[in-house]
Chain A
Amino acid sequence: MNAPVIKRISSVAKLGDLRERLRAQKPAGGGSGTRQILVCFGGSCLASGAKEVRDALRLALEAEKLGDQVALVETGCMGPCVLGPVVMVGEDRTFYQGVKPGDASDIVKQHICGGKRVERLLVYDAAGKTPAPCREDIEFFKRQTQIVLRNCGWIDPERIGDAIARDGYAGLAKVLTECTPEAVIAEMKASGLRGRGGAGFPTWLKWHLARESADTVHYVLCNADEGDPGAYMDRSVLEGDPHSVIEGMAIAAFAIGAQQGYVYVRAEYPLAVERLSTAIAQARACGLLGANILGTQFSFDLEIRMGSGAFVCGEETALIASIEGKRGEPRPRPPFPAQKGLWGKPTVLNNVETYANVPAILQKGGSWYASMGTPKSKGTKVFALAGAVRNTGLVEVPVGTSLGELVYDIGGGIRNNRHFKAAQIGGPSGGCIPREHLNVPLDYETLADLGAIMGSGGLIVMDEDTCMVDVARFFIEFVQEESCGKCVPCRVGTRRMLEILNRICEGQGEMADIDRLIQLGHFIKTASLCGLGQTAPNPVLSTIRHFRNEYEEHIRDRHCRAGVCAGLVRAPCLSACPVGVNVPGFVSLVGEKRYAEALRLHRERNPFASVCARVCFHTCEDKCRRASLDEPVSIRGVKRFMVDQEVTVQVPEVRENAANAKRKVAIIGAGPAGLSCAYFLARLGYQPDVFEAEPRPGGMLVQAIPAYRLPREELAREVRMIEHLGVTVETGCALGRDFTLTSLREKGYESVFLAVGAPLGVALDVPGANAHGVTEAMSFLRQYNIRGSVPVGKHVAVIGGGNAAIDAARTAIRLGAQSVTVLYRRTREEMPAYAEEIEEALQEGVTLRTLVHPESFEVEGGRVTGIKCRAMKLGEFDRSGRRRPEGAEDAACEVLPADQVIVAIGQALDEKALAGAVEVERTSRGWVKADPRTGATSAPWLFAGGDVVAGPSSVADAIAAGERTAVAIDAMLTGAEHAFWRGYSDPGVAFDTSADPVAYSREKLPAMPLERRRQNFAEVEQPWNESTAVRQAKRCLRCDYGKQPCDCGQA
């Protein structure tokens, strides 16, 4: 360390002089203002090579003979840990990320010498297009208010002069000369600061109580036993700005009349211990610790005590016991430490962050601090953003900032374009906040209302790949291991909770387990001795509260939707498939060129192999573990190749059954749900009758999905296959018009499956909506797809952001529209349409206008001529976790000319068709109410499934509903379940467990050239050739290999 030796500072005035002197020679090290390079030496940057970067920078400076002109400062954590190592250069604070030693000479030559920024090292916006060169330009920093972190990243923590130059010890100096202890406490009261360790007890009150406790000896303790998984706020402060903590403790000592303090740091924080030790030694040398500080009567000294890593030692009484050399475990309170603490003496115990606030409060005043935050929680809070968020790191925001702001504005949203699922706040004592509550202000009361706690500030962001049951299991496993074992509820109760959760995660749970967990959780909370036990069940209780359906799926369906729980997931792709197709099976069969077997395996669970090869949304690929190596297996691509190899139609086992064949089952609606139901019933020997209102079977597949995505012959072939199994499809036969539910019953149908979908479009209720030229997407698409022609305008506007909107737009382009504009009120990221469809549409010439809202239609002579649109901006988060579009009153309106408007804002039931003698129970949202597992409705013989139950959803979901209903109808008719296809099917393919994964990267399916797409409906996507397909199939990692057969298919 080459810090200049600073002599003992004998008075407050001399501290002021020194500060001025240090500022004048700024920056530390002797460089001039613009010539300073700050290298982040926070733990995360060190781990990613900050030392090597510093060495390289030094060499580069020396090579340019700038070694004594440019200061190289090693600072504490700058915040954006994910970008490390980070470096800040010059007075304009150019911020470089991901710096490698090899970048050093560019930084020195190009920036320091040449005055030109190194563009490639700058931070870019989410789209990766616009650079944010300076610290102040970066979203991550823009919205922060740094009090605790005021010096982190700006000073060399090992040089006390750096701290003094930035007002270090100024607060203490002011206190020692201008304040009485009572005045200090009054100032703290005015600030409204609450303990940042988690519980939020008013800091001033703690100090007041300790001061009031009559005793000659008092102690000041600092809790730096930060142990929450994912939290590192305190570590970063100790590493980056230890002097603020020392100063805060000295002020507390002055206020309560203590002369000795201890900092209790985890031994796992060696760097923090080292820097704090250095800081204490320097402060002592400067007379800022020890006897007669700054020449006053006040004496105070500090020692470090290392904790051996017991989580419970973060509890104050356990921490005190540990300092005393006893087993670190809590004792009953009262007496509170303020009355009887370390060695029985009145003791103030605050955490690192709390103390780091204190100097600023005393320097700038309590009311300054209280001007930030919420009415009940003042000031700022530091969070350690971790998990699935883009910008992980350390951030400080005013208390009351919303979770959404933290995750999206500062955190940059979710990595890999996933969706936010929940945030775990407060560590093992905290809870999970789901996306419905992205808007909540992060303050003590609101979080408590949601079943979480502020905690010390660990904030773990989770996406859909996180299983909430597993999260609960993880945290309860942590606390049950970290419980001190003293009191029974915590020691035994948490263990019993873990056992129940383990059972659930292994597929051995019972429905009653959920209530058991709740009961046990409440018991542990109310009965435990200390804060650890009293909060230990929070992660479980909060996940049950917000994600009960996931628990139920684990127990009832033996299904883990996130694909995490090993006991429930044979392979994540298989688990993610709503239909339960044996994905690794058919993919690896394709890899062995056994196409017929692959097809049969696919059709074990899904008759529509060819359809799904084209239109499936492939949730399987989202969960593919190959993504952790490079990119997911292109499962749909492999499937596409597979179905193209079908010469004779491959049907798996069909069990003839004369008894079943005689029983009459009616299916209303020949969409994917109805036809799948028919298919599976036929495989059980039934011969169901399918009634379809439209002239052609296929439902949405034929009515809505354009032929360029799904060639009609492909669909027809698979419908014919189903008919060949003994299914009768009667088209042009509509419920409500040609027959009713009652009439079916009268004809002797023992069971009826209602799968009529949600065929109607939803109109937009704005002025001019009835004008000629305004239509809605469903009828537009249906008219073209069934009748073969539909009127199309020259300038078409499509309103909406879903698949129907994109299908309508692309259809209009093909039918000769000169311009097609899709209007959407949110941004492209929020559009529900498949991303690849949007991309194709844009390539084909569709224009996308986002953040616009149609106010009214311009009408001339009864014909629409345009749309008056209001510009929108994204406001607060709604319950779907998306930002709600808001139109400001004064927002600009513009008129978009259009002679045709296609409204694609939703789908609805055909109420007329449903109206009949049979009363069908509905959900609150108007859909038919049916058991999601069986399709059973309020009438014992009537089943329902597909869009009529779930609202518009995917083809795969509809197929799955059909399969489930087939099983349920059979069970209703025969009294037993015969779903023989649901068992485990071993694909019987070779797999070399010792081989490395093949290196081939993912390939896209080739597409028809753009110029050939216009004016026709030929299929856009083209298959691979065989060698490509086989290569791609071999990318599968075979996650299913060796897994015990389990009946965890989605049944």
Chain B
Amino acid sequence: MLNVTINTKKIQVPEGSTILQAARQMGVSVPTLCNMEKREAIGACRVCLVEVEGARTLAAACSTPVTENMVVRTNSTLARAARRQVVEMLLSEHDGNCPTCGRSTDCELRALAEEMGVSHLPFEGIKAKAHIDSSTPALVRDNAKCIKCRRCVTVCGEVQGVGALFPQGRGFQTVIGPAFTRDLEGVACVQCGQCAAVCPVGAIVEKSQIAEVWKALDNPKLHVVVQTAPAIRAALGEAFGYEPGTRVTGQMVAALRRLGFDGVFDTNFTADLTIMEEGTELLTRLKKALVDKEPVALPMFTSCSPGWINFAEFYFPQFLPNISTCKSPQQMFGAVAKTYYADKIGRKPEEVVVVSVMPCTAKKFEAQRPEMATNGVPDVDYVLTTRELAKMIKEAGIDFKSLPDEEMDAPLGLSSGAADIFANTGGVMEAALRTAYEIVTGRELPVDNLHVQAISGLEGIKEAALTITGTKKEWSFLEGVELKVAVSHGLANTRRLLEYIRAHGATYHFVEVMTCPGGCIGGGGQPRFTDDSVRLKRIAGIYREDESKKMRKSHENPDVKKLYADFLGKPLGAKSHHLLHTHYHHKEK
């Protein structure tokens, strides 16, 4: 332990603590900007400058380790003035068009300016050079707003292991962006949007489709339906002042209805459908491998997360055959809505508009993939992020907090608890196990409260093994097999896992990959700001949603059963194959 004095108060902190950690330990707040949870401090932004007795310069609290008997003043005139001046400098470089910026109400720079008492800019001069990169369907980058804090660089490079964003150039000409000052389209960006999630200002945001959705809603000739991803319900409330993890499913449904959607449905419905298809696919692969001894790609990977698909296409094409051929729940929903549902309500597919509300920016990309269309009609027309939906609700003047709870519409609105947990890392796997185990053995998955603890939580790579006994006759080839599964979230973890598998062969049967840390609840389109404590609250909220339902297994969903009975036939059947499955291809970087 080290002794340190902060603002005349003495405390003891563990060796290796930074000044920032010491200050926080004693409840002294020091502002930060570039600093990121669990990442090595880079000391770039300097808004955490504090005075250290005897030091030649001010110290960045985030990156300066405490030494024995260090005396720190976070609040001296010098430190306060320097911190203010740093923010003044940032503002002088920043384009400053706050009123028209999408981040005007939750901009960290604005908040810092207010906190530090910036009243005017004593040093004005040229601004950062503007360049708007809207080359991808998912993201828009605006260099004029970028303050070079490099959170996006850190998250892209270290958390996601993608490294599409770098500092380039020198001095005032420094820009953050893809290599060789290309646009994102020109590099191997997976469009996960984690950069947009961590950006403190409006420099990286999702490409908005709000206007298109309003236009569709305003068109009386169109039948506009909406699907909401599992992760929305535990996060949307944050945009209206609720605690993270607060479940607002019913109010969300009410709000969507008030926005004018003709059908308010649930991606959860197709999450249940996915379990049916993907579970069957897994069992089929296992049969091929164990019984038919055919060469078959194992482990099988989940395919729900479009950022992961992009990642595999760019970086790990050798694993593409391992990825489940199932479309993601979003795309399955669109395909079903424009066929089964359209037919039901007597509309042509072209007259049905499918709007998704997703926690994700990569979903915007996914929706416009050529693979994701049926007979030339895209499965999904527009994708909104959670944040965009919140904006629409506000724009429409809906008082969200006073809304009553309402129910989703039939027939695409009913879902199981297993579908809810698709939002969490480990959730798809757990949902699949609930169903697959029961199909194979006829018994419920023998774990406490149906939760597979080993694969839940924020550990980067998780694994579980389950020995299957007492199989039904038709699944007897699985008798005694130890089913091994792994779960990764965050693409840097995924990269590690894939490299392990590449080195050690098919050590697992089934692997769930989610692009974003924590799974979809930590997606790039979720309300800001997301850190681990927020992730854990959302995860808990989702589990509560699951547990609150009577129906907690996908194969129990009666409407899914009906869908098979009336329309699809059976999992992996011809119709399913046509509508619900696809293939992916290697993309050159």
Interface residues of A (CB under 8 A from B): 310, 312, 327, 329, 331-332, 334, 480-489, 491-496, 499-500, 516, 520, 523, 525-529, 534
Contact = CB atoms under 8 A, between A and B. Distances in A.
B44 A495 contact: no
Contacts of A492: 89-90, 92-93, 172
Contacts of B167: 327, 329, 484-486
B125 A485 contact: no
Nearest to B41: A332
A527 B174 contact: no
Task: Determine chain A's interface SS by DSSP, over half rule.
Answer: helix
Given A332-B63, A528-B57, A487 B169 contact: no
Contact of A496 (B65, B78, B125, B169): B125
B126 interface: yes
17 contacts: A332-B42, A332-B60, A332-B64, A483-B170, A484-B167, A485-B171, A488-B44, A492-B90, A494-B172, A495-B125, A495-B126, A496-B89, A499-B125, A525-B57, A526-B57, A526-B78, A527-B49
Interface residues of B, number: 39
B58 A486 contact: no
B86 A527 contact: yes
Nearest to B93: A492
A491 B58 CA distance: 17
B122 interface: yes
B172 A485 contact: yes
A491 B92 CA distance: 12
Contacts of B122: 516
A260 to B, nearest CB: 25
A334 B122 CA distance: 33
Given A480-B172, A481-B173, A495-B171, 20 more contacts: A329-B167, A331-B42, A332-B43, A485-B171, A487-B46, A488-B44, A488-B45, A488-B89, A491-B172, A492-B90, A494-B172, A496-B123, A516-B122, A520-B123, A523-B81, A526-B78, A527-B46, A527-B49, A529-B43, A529-B44
Contacts of B150: 486
Interface string B118-136: 0000110110000000000
Given A496-B92, A516-B122, A527-B46, A491 B85 contact: no
B166 interface: yes
A534 B90 contact: no
Contacts of A534: 56-57
A669 to B, nearest CB: 47
Interface in B14-65: 41-47, 49, 56-58, 60, 63-65
Contacts of B65: 334
B148 interface: yes
B392 interface: no
B82 interface: yes
Nearest to B173: A485
Contacts of B44: 486-488, 529
A326 to B, nearest CB: 10
A491 B174 contact: yes
The 8 closest A-B pairs by CB, nearest first: A485-B174, A332-B63, A332-B43, A492-B89, A495-B172, A496-B123, A499-B125, A483-B171
A489 B90 CA distance: 9
A312 B174 CA distance: 14
A362 B113 CA distance: 57
Contacts of A481: 170-171, 173
Contacts of B78: 526
A310 B171 CA distance: 11
Nearest to B51: A526
Contacts of B89: 488-489, 492-493, 496
Contacts of B92: 492, 496
Interface in B61-96: 63-65, 78, 81-82, 85-86, 89-90, 92-93
A543 to B, nearest CB: 19
B201 to A, nearest CB: 13
Name which of A332, A482, A500 has the most chain B CB atoms within 10 A of its CB: A332
Nearest to B63: A332
Nearest to B55: A526
A527 B170 contact: no
A138 to B, nearest CB: 42
Name which of B43, B60, B170 has the most chain A CB atoms within 10 A of its CB: B170
Contacts of B41: 332
B143 to A, nearest CB: 13
A499 B126 contact: yes
A480 B170 CA distance: 8
A485 B148 contact: yes
A854 to B, nearest CB: 52
Contacts of A529: 43-44, 46, 60
A481 B170 CA distance: 6
Nearest to B125: A499
Name which of A310, A489, A520 has the most chain B CB atoms within 10 A of its CB: A489
A42 to B, nearest CB: 30
B65 to A, nearest CB: 6
Contacts of A488: 44-47, 86, 89-90, 147-148
A327 B47 CA distance: 23
B188 to A, nearest CB: 18
Contacts of B56: 534
B86 to A, nearest CB: 5
A273 to B, nearest CB: 23
B125 A487 contact: no
B46 A489 contact: yes
Contacts of A310: 170
A837 B482 CA distance: 109
Contacts of A491: 93, 148, 171-172, 174
A487 B170 contact: no
Name which of B63, B122, B166, B172 has the most chain A CB atoms within 10 A of its CB: B172
Interface in B105-122: 122
B16 to A, nearest CB: 11
Contacts of A334: 64-65
Contact of A527 (B58, B147, B148): B58
